[in-house]
Structure 1
Amino acid sequence: MKLQDSVIAVTGAGQGLGRAMAEYLAARGARLALIDLVPEKLETAAIACREAGGDSRIYVCNVAREDEVDATFAAIARDFGALNGVINNAGILRDGLLIKTKDGEITQRMELAQWQAVIDVNLTGVFLCGRAAASQMIALGNGGVIINIASISRAGNMGQSNYSAAKAGVSALVPVWAKELARYGIRCMGIAPGFIETDMVASMKPEALEKMTAGIPLKRMGQPEEIAQTAAFIFENEYLSGRMIEVDGGLRL
């Protein structure tokens, strides 16, 4: 798929990896449909995409709401007249241990609300957006590419029962959708980033960052642009489908 003039939707596009991927694709001539919950951040991202050289429009949407997702993707297809790709990137964190104890007594458990919030956005949101995007691609008859953003936490990470389960689910959807949607000319791939230098990571304590970086074989965190490069590679390589690409500096060798 050529990026020039392709219509690509990005969820969680207002900041972090979502915005980085959107700007990178815009610089290569893609037309971006930016999806997020915060209008102000979307506006800033849209300006950055236009300055990078790509057309962009914003869509305020809660990816965990079926009605909002379906309406948003219908609007994208109507506004642009096409939908060639989607990056399912939106996600949240609600970290916590399953059980926490002190002196042999249980002091805290992961709350159902912590679990459900992450599953709703990080897994159900991917399902809803993937389904809506595929529906529009099929209706438009132009095929397309679905990219699910997972995480190396999909293999299990302490303190992240909810996040790890959601990202494992997101990864499992990749081969399923690749097999089901190939007949419509739709490919599906996934990216599992390791520790990436986003604003959220940069706000961590220096000692925590140092410890985290020391465990990476390449001895540095990844850059958002390196995830964006991977997404662009997936879009452009027509024989990639049904696989996860881990971009983690060798952390999970």
Structure 2
Amino acid sequence: MDLNQKVVVVTGAGRGLGRGIATYFAGKGARLACVDLSQEDLNATVAACEAAGGEARAYLANVAKEEDVEKLFSDVVADFGSLHGVVNNAGITRDGLLVKYKDGEIVSKMSLQQWQAVIDVNLTGVFLCGREAAAKMLELGVEEGVIVNISSLARQGSFGQSNYAAAKTGVVALAEVWAKELARYNIRTGAVAPGTINTDMLAAMKPEARERLIQAVPLRRLGEAEHVARSVAFIFETDYFTGRCIDMDGGLR
């Protein structure tokens, strides 16, 4: 797929990886529907996309809510007149040990609320956006469509992240299933699993903690949002790629 003038939805586009992906796609001439919960963050992303040479619009939506997602995709099609792709990037964390045991006693357990909050956004949100994107593409009769789910290195198992790891494993499985179901309509799917990426959260870490993370990466450096964006673009632009996950982790896996 040539990204020039293609309409692409990016969820979680307000900052971090989402902003990086949206801005990179804008530089390739894509028309971006940027989705998040913060209008201020979205405004900054839209400005960055426009500065990169692309068209962009902001949409407030909670991807965990079915009615929000249905309205989102209807609005995007009404505004842009088409839909060619979606990048399911929105995600949250609510870390905690499954059980914390100390001095012969259970100190704490991961709560159902911690579990459900992450599953709702990181897995159910991807399901809802993937479903609605596919439905709109079929209704519009687009010649080619692409759905990319952002996973994580955590899908290999990440200490203190039962909820997050389960969700990020799940979104890869969704990409694999959708590849088989949607290939007949020339809708391709894929996933990208980033490793340790240089985001605002890492920038705020103590220098010694940040250095430990860097030293754990075989390439001895952090990934950048653009590395992830290039991986997503590769899936969009490579018409024989579908149903697989790219691990963008500097060899950390």
- TM-score between the two structures when normalised by the length of structure 2: 0.98
Partners of 1:86 and 1:11 lie apart in 2 by 8
Give 1:43's aligned residue. Answer: 43
- Partner amino acid for 1:231? V
Per-residue deviation at 1:208? 1.5
1:174 Cα deviation from its structure 2 partner: 1.0
Note the C-alpha offset of 1:221. Answer: 0.9
Match of residue 209 from structure 1: 210
CA distances 1:113-160 after superposition (whole Å, capped 9, x unpaired): 100000000000000000010011111111300000000100111100
| Alpha-carbon distance in structure 2 between the residues aligned to 1:22 and 1:126 | 17
Partner residue in 2 for 1:29? 29
Q: TM-score w.r.t. structure 1 length? A: 0.98
CA distance, structure 2, for counterparts of residue 74 and residue 154 of structure 1: 32
Partner Cα separation in structure 2 for residue 141 and residue 95 of structure 1: 42
Moved more, 185-194 or 208-217: 208-217
1:51 counterpart letter in structure 2: A
Q: Could you give the per-residue CA deviations for residues 29-56 of structure 1, whole angstroms, max 9, x where no partner exists?
A: 0000000011111111111111110001
C-alpha displacement of 1:58: 0.8
**2:233 is equivalent to residue 237 of structure 1:** no
| Aligned match of 2:110 | 110
**How far is the alpha carbon of 1:204 from its aligned partner?**
1.6
SS in 1 for 2:59: strand
In structure 2, runs of 5+ residues without a counterpart are none
Mapping 1:143-222, distance limit 5 Å: 143-222=144-223
State how many pairs are aligned: 252
User: What is the aligned partner in structure 2 of residue 227 from structure 1?
Assistant: 228
Matched, 1:55 2:65: no
Provide structure 1 residue ranges, at least 5 long, that are not aligned to the other structure.
Answer: none
Q: Deviations over 1:148-201 (max 9, x none)?
A: 000010011110000000001011111100000111110000000000001012
Letter in 2 for 1:158: F
Structure 1 segments of 4+ aligned residues over 2 angstroms from their partners: none
